[in-house]
């Protein structure tokens, strides 16, 4: 039997080669380290059995399986892998694999299957005594049965131990006695099709029944073992129950991970080594506007804004240099065109010490950025307030002299003196300037509040000229003063500042111009309105500013 090993790991290929050459029936073992050399090799030495390490660095193991399937002579193919998931197993079997083994957990079982094939090849020759001893020592269940009657003709010790039947019980049974009804129903037809060449693959998966009624999940390999006057098949039954249970546990673990992945409030993403997205959770879908399927294969350059792309790529690429984790800020362009600032924490993901991609979390920091801007503006306003307070103090010192001297001039000049009118104007202007400095001091919080009883109509009337200058010519100012308005107790400067702020906000809301109304009225709060914190029912004065 010619065996081909396709593996670029010397440690594994040398170990396999030594084991195979020690088996009776193995004539030649060829080792190929590169996937690209497989086709040329099988043309020169057609193999009967191929062992493929699917996790090759030098090429695609799946590609090797496809190459073998197109070969003129069909060989039995055994796959070794570090990815034992059911999805990957099905992919390998669809590509042409006959057996599928977890390299780390089932290596010895793979060797046992190879030994069984070698034994079947060697038994009809002069190696029969050695092969019979090999059959008995096989650690996996093996038996021979008559193709025509389906009766057991020989079983090894491993079959006796695993199935629970004594050797004599086995030899009094047929293979249908241990098969599930589904597997037994077409057993004869499958044997016929295999013998006539209609069914190329001499293997299968199914369920067997042990003597105690327990179910044994198996993958079986069958090879003809005809003797003079007898048509026999040799069967190797590989117990895959542990693999199935491991697969089920892995699928359950993956489902739990997916549930946690999708229920996370932060956006979570994964990429390959080229920074192409491989998965998004629901939060990431909401953040980017792309579904998980739409994002697969997209490079981060597709959604990171050009201004921040170089920094993001550089930070993520730093992972290859051994950084365990990195955190950075960037900006993405969502599918609907929104620019979203995000904070990213990313780490390198490795498998068996080999980097395979990036996993990261991203958080929308739009609110934080907005608060930072507001805080910065508050700091600026605080600085402006301090400056205004300092200027107001100095200006107030000058006004004290101006107002005092002008008042003294008014008192000393006769009423018919032409300069007295000028002194009155200076005094009045100084009074207005004092009011302005008072507002500046109130703005800078350096003015001690002095509430007093005042008429709200008088305050709005005196402030009207200032408001008109503030709002500009394209906005009409309308002041509606209620009659018989009650008095209020408030600090005049603070009240004026509130009115100015509201008027400026209203003006900003009308960039094309409009009408701005300042209105006073009397309001009565009943018991329901007084339920609001800080309010008591009674009569109030209402100031309303609308645009």
Across the beta sheet with 475-480, the strand order is: 475-480, 514-525, 538-546
High-pLDDT (> 90) share of the chain, %: 12
End-to-end CA distance of the chain: 95
Domain count, the chain: 4
- Written as one string, the DSSP assignment of 51-118 is EEETT-SSS-HHHHHHHHHTSSS--EEEEEES---HHHHHHHHHHT-SEEEETTTSHHHHHHHHHHHH
The CA angle 369-329-263, to the nearest 5 degrees, is 85
- To the nearest 10°, report the CA torsion of 367, 372, 376, 379: 100
Q: Are residues 358 and 410 in the same domain?
A: no
Q: Say which residues have a Cβ less than 8 Å from residue 105's Cβ, sequence separation at least 6.
A: 84, 242, 246
pLDDT value at 160 more than 90: yes
Please indicate, yes or no, whether residues 296 and 323 belong to a single structural domain of this protein: yes
Residue 197, sorted as left (phi over 0), alpha (psi -120 to 50) or beta, turns out to be left
Q: Which domain holds residue 389?
A: 369-443
Give the domain CATH number at 400: 1.10.287.130
Which residue reads 């399937």 in tokens?
69
pLDDT of residue 374: 85
Of 443, 477, 509, at which residue does a domain stop?
Answer: 443
DSSP state of 466: H
* 199 vs 21 pLDDT, higher one: 21
For 11-25, 196-210, 223-237, which range has the lowest pLDDT when averaged over its residues? 196-210
Report the pLDDT value the prediction gives residue 281, as an integer from 0 to 100: 92
Asked whether the predicted pLDDT for residue 104 surpasses 80, the reply is no
pLDDT at 116: 66
Binning pLDDT at 50, 70 and 90, where does residue 195 land? low
- What is the DSSP-derived secondary structure letter of residue 318? G
Residues 438-481 have pLDDT tens digits of 766 666 655 556 788 988 888 888 888 878 877 878 888 899 98
Same domain assignment for residues 423 and 475: no
Q: Which residues contact 214 (CB under 8 A, 6 or more apart)?
A: none
Query: What is the C-alpha R_g of the chain?
Result: 45
Largest CA distance in the chain: 153
Query: Does 97 score more than 90 pLDDT?
Result: no
How far is Cα 84 from Cα 91, in angstroms, rounded to an integer?
Answer: 11
Are 178 and 272 within one domain? no
Does 236 map to a domain?
no
Token representation of residue 183: 């597997």
Calpha distance 514→475 (Å, rounded): 5
Q: Alpha helices, DSSP H only, in 472-527? A: 492-508
Q: Where are the beta strands (DSSP E) in 387-454?
A: 452-454
Taking the CA atoms of 189, 192, 198 and 201 in sequence, report the sign of the dihedral they define.
Answer: positive
| Inside any domain, residue 352 | yes
Which H or E run includes 327? strand 325-333
In a domain, 252, yes or no: no
**Which 8-state DSSP code applies to residue 415?**
T
DSSP string covering 235-295: EEEEE-HHHHHHHHHHHHHHHHHHHHHHH-SSEEEEE-TT-BEEEE-HHHHHHHS--HHHH
Q: Do both 436 and 460 map to the same domain?
A: no
Which CATH number belongs to the domain containing residue 112 in this structure?
A: 3.40.50.2300
What is the spatial distance between Cα 342 and Cα 361, in angstroms, rounded to a whole number?
Answer: 10
- Shared-domain flag, residues 66 and 198: yes
Last residue of a domain, one of 443, 466, 491: 443
User: Which CATH number is 493's domain given?
Assistant: 3.30.565.10
Cα angle 400, 405, 411 (rounded to 5 degrees) comes to: 130
Same domain, yes or no, for 422 and 521? no
What average pLDDT does this structure show over 518-541?
Answer: 80
DSSP 485: P
- What does the pLDDT read at residue 445? 57
User: Looking at the domain assignment, is residue 248 inside a domain?
Assistant: no
DSSP class of 198? S
User: Do the domain assignments include residue 230?
Assistant: no
- Report DSSP state, residue 210: -
Answer yes or no: is 251 within a domain: no
Query: What is the H or E stretch that residue 477 is in?
Result: strand 475-480
Q: What pLDDT is recorded for position 199?
A: 45
Pairwise CA distance, residues 470 & 258, whole Å: 59
Supply the CATH number for residue 309's domain.
Answer: 3.30.450.20
Q: Do 272 and 191 fall into the same domain?
A: no
> Would you state the pLDDT for residue 159?
93
In this predicted structure, the answer to whether residue 209 has a pLDDT above a threshold of 80 is yes
Contact present, 82 and 55 (Cβ < 8 Å): yes
Task: Tell whether 404 and 471 lie within a shared domain.
Answer: no
168, 199, 224: which is the final residue of a domain? 224
Report the pLDDT value the prediction gives residue 510, as an integer from 0 to 100: 86
Query: pTM of this prediction?
Result: 0.45
What does the alpha-carbon distance between residue 220 and residue 197 come to, in Å, rounded to a whole number? 18
Token pair belonging to 451: 């509430």
Summary count for the chain: helices (H), strands (E): 18, 20
Residue 234 lies in a domain: no
User: Mind listing the pLDDT tens digit for each residue in 243-289?
Assistant: 778 778 878 887 888 888 888 889 999 998 888 999 999 999 999 99
Q: Are residues 500 and 542 in the same domain?
A: yes
User: Minimum mean pLDDT among 120-134, 254-268, 291-305: which range?
Assistant: 120-134
Weakest mean pLDDT among 33-47, 309-323, 378-392, 485-499: 309-323
φ, ψ for residue 83, nearest 5 deg = -115, 90
- In angstroms, the CA 215 to CA 208 distance is 6
State the Cα–Cα distance between residues 176 and 195, nearest whole angstrom: 18
Whether 229 maps to a domain, the answer reads: no
Residue from 70, 72, 75, 105 nearest 6 by CA: 75
pLDDT tens string 363-391: 999 888 888 888 888 888 778 777 877 78
Predicted confidence (pLDDT) per residue in 50-89, tens digit: 888 866 555 567 788 888 877 777 777 888 887 777 777 7
pLDDT tens digits, 299-351 = 988 899 988 888 888 877 766 655 667 888 899 999 998 999 999 998 888 87
- Residues 6 or more apart in contact with residue 449 via CB below 8 angstroms: 442, 491, 494
310 and 185, same domain (yes or no): no
Q: What is the pLDDT of residue 311?
A: 83
Instruction: Locate 326 and state its tokens.
Output: 């990195």
User: Is 410 or 230 the better-scoring residue by pLDDT?
Assistant: 410
d(CA 250, CA 506): 62
Output the pLDDT for position 427: 85
Specify whether 331 is located in the same domain as 360. yes
Mean pLDDT of 171-197: 75
């Amino acid at each position: 039997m010619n065996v081909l090993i396709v593996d670029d790991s010397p440690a594994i290929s040398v170990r396999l080669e030594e084991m195979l050459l020690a088996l009776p029936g193995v004539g030649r073992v060829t080792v190929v380290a590169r996937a690209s050399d497989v086709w040329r090799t099988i043309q020169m030495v057609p193999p009967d059995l191929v062992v493929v390490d699917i996790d090759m660095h030098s090429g695609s193991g799946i590609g090797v399986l496809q190459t073998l399937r197109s070969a003129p002579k069909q060989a039995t193919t055994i796959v070794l892998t570090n990815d034992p998931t059911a999805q990957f197993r099905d992919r390998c079997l669809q590509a042409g694999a006959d057996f599928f083994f977890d390299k780390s957990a089932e290596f010895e079982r793979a060797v046992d299957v190879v030994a069984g094939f070698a034994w079947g090849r060697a038994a009809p020759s002069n190696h029969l005594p050695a092969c019979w001893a090999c059959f008995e020592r096989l650690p996996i269940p093996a038996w021979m049965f008559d193709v025509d009657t389906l009766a057991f003709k020989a079983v090894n010790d491993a079959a006796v131990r695993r199935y629970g039947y004594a050797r004599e019980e086995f030899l009094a049974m047929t293979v249908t006695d241990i098969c599930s009804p589904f597997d037994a129903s077409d057993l004869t037809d499958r044997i016929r099709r295999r013998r006539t060449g209609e069914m190329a693959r001499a293997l299968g998966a199914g369920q067997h029944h042990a003597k105690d009624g327990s179910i044994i999940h198996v993958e079986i390999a069958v090879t003809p073992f005809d003797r003079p006057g007898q048509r026999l098949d040799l069967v190797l039954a590989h117990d895959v129950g542990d693999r199935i249970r491991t697969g089920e546990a892995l699928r359950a673990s993956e489902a739990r991970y997916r549930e946690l992945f999708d229920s996370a409030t932060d956006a979570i993403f994964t990429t390959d080594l080229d920074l192409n997205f491989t998965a998004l959770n629901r939060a990431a879908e909401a953040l980017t506007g792309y579904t998980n399927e739409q994002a697969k294969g997209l490079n981060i350059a597709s959604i990171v804004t050009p201004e921040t792309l170089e920094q993001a790529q550089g930070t993520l690429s730093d992972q290859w240099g051994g950084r365990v984790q990195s955190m950075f800020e960037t900006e993405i362009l969502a599918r609907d065109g929104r620019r979203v600032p995000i904070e990213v924490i990313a780490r390198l993901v490795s498998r068996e010490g080999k980097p395979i991609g990036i996993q990261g979390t991203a958080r929308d920091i739009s609110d934080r950025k907005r608060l930072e801007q507001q805080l910065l503006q508050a700091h600026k306003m605080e600085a402006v307030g301090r400056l205004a307070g300092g200027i107001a103090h100095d200006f107030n010192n000058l006004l004290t002299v101006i107002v005092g001297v002008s008042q003294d001039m008014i008192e000393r000049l006769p009423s018919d003196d032409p300069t007295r009118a000028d002194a009155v104007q200076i005094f009045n202007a100084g009074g207005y300037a004092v009011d302005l400095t008072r507002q500046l001091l109130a703005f800078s919080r350096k003015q001690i509040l002095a509430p007093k009883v005042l008429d709200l109509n008088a305050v709005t009337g005196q402030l009207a000229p200032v408001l008109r200058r503030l709002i500009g010519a394209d906005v009409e100012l309308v002041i509606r003063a209620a009659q018989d308005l009650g008095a209020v107790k408030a600090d005049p400067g603070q009240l004026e500042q509130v009115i100015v702020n509201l008027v400026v906000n209203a003006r900003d809301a009308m960039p094309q111009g409009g009408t701005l109304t300042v209105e006073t009225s009397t309001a009565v709060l009943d018991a329901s309105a007084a339920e609001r914190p800080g309010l008591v029912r009674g009569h109030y004065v209402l100031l309303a500013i609308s645009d």
